Amino acid sequence: MRIWSRREWLWKSSMGVAALSLTPGLLAQEPHVTVSPLNNLSDDDEIELGRRFAAQLEKEEPTVSNSLIDRYLGSMVDELAKASQRPNLPYSVKLVNSDVANACSLPGGSLYVNRGLVELIESEDELAATLSHEIGHVVGRHVVNQLMLDFTARSLLEPVLDNLHKRNGVIEKIILELGGAVAMMAMLHFSREDEAEADLLGFYEMLRAGWDPHGFLDLFAHLDDIEKSSSGIEIPFLSDHPSTPARAAAIRRELTRVTLPSGAITDTVQFQVFKAALRLLPEPPKESHEGDGQTHD
């Protein structure tokens, strides 16, 4: 298979993407996201809440900063986010220096992906599937909905909302008193419906942005291998998801309902350079994969 550069692919397939976006009925199976009646946050409120969590999470989890890696991941997230149902949020992505196969998203568009997951991935469309799934959680407001429920159950919703746009340390104190950002995110449990919705939202984000959504199937194959080799240990990235075969079946069903543009991206030179840069980084610290409190998708 020839590996296309992004410039070559955009030139070759621009007309195909335009036709794809205009095909009647193409998006009939894409979930239409609605706002939960329990979530009355504005976009600005959600973005601010996400910023507070991100600041604390990055004090607790080591991230890797490398200009080539940051630019590459950031450009992919920008393109996928533009193709989402919430394109106007300030999306960002950082690489977490952990060998645990995991990823997560925060309210407002901050994404985190662990090296342990990225190192399993062998092509750009698999990486696009990972990132688009996380964007799907942001689009679906899954994280912020769960946080609103948690704050309500703890009688903390009013102080959170009253202090959200104030620089008085109250929000930070609440996060720390609840165990920190990592622990709070680990305690959130998405429904399997949320996870399935994030897959489908990601599928159509990939399709519109020009990546081949078959990447989901390759990603699921890797995740299935992790499950089979885990000896019963819970994998954070998979704990709340539908079974991996069920997720793959749902993606295969969607693939029968759409027409892929000629030359949809599967791999690029940029991805291979990104993987080479990743291999040059110092090894991440070894971590326990059981009960490690990792943030999870």
Give average pLDDT by consecutive 10-residue segment, the chain, 297 residues: 41 34 46 83 96 96 94 98 97 95 94 94 97 97 93 95 96 96 88 91 97 96 79 51 83 94 94 96 70 47
213 within 8 A of 125, measured Cβ to Cβ: yes
Beta strands across the sheet bearing 110-114: 63-64, 92-96, 110-114, 103-105
User: 3-class SS at 286?
Assistant: coil
204 within 8 A of 23, measured Cβ to Cβ: no
pLDDT digits (tens, 9 = 90+) for 2-14: 344 443 433 333 3
pLDDT at 35: 83
Question: Within a 13 Å sphere around the CA of 211, how many CA atoms are in the beta-carbon half?
Answer: 30
pLDDT digits (tens, 9 = 90+) for 227-242: 777 655 555 544 555 6
pLDDT at 92: 98
The gap from C-alpha 93 to its chain's centroid, in whole angstroms, comes to 9
- Other Cβ atoms within 10 Å of 199 Cβ, number: 24
Q: Which residues contact 66 (CB under 8 A, 6 or more apart)?
A: 95, 277, 281
pLDDT at 167: 94
Which H or E element spans position 20? helix 6-22
Tokens of 120: 């399993």
**CA-CA distance, 39 to 54, in Å (whole number)?**
20
Pairing relationship of beta strands 63-64 and 110-114 according to DSSP bridges: unpaired
Tell me which residue of 126, 139, 117 sits closest to 198, measured CA to CA: 139
pLDDT at 40: 87
Q: Which amino acid is at 215?
A: G
pLDDT at 32: 86
**pTM across the whole model:** 0.85
Residue with tokens 């075969």: 245
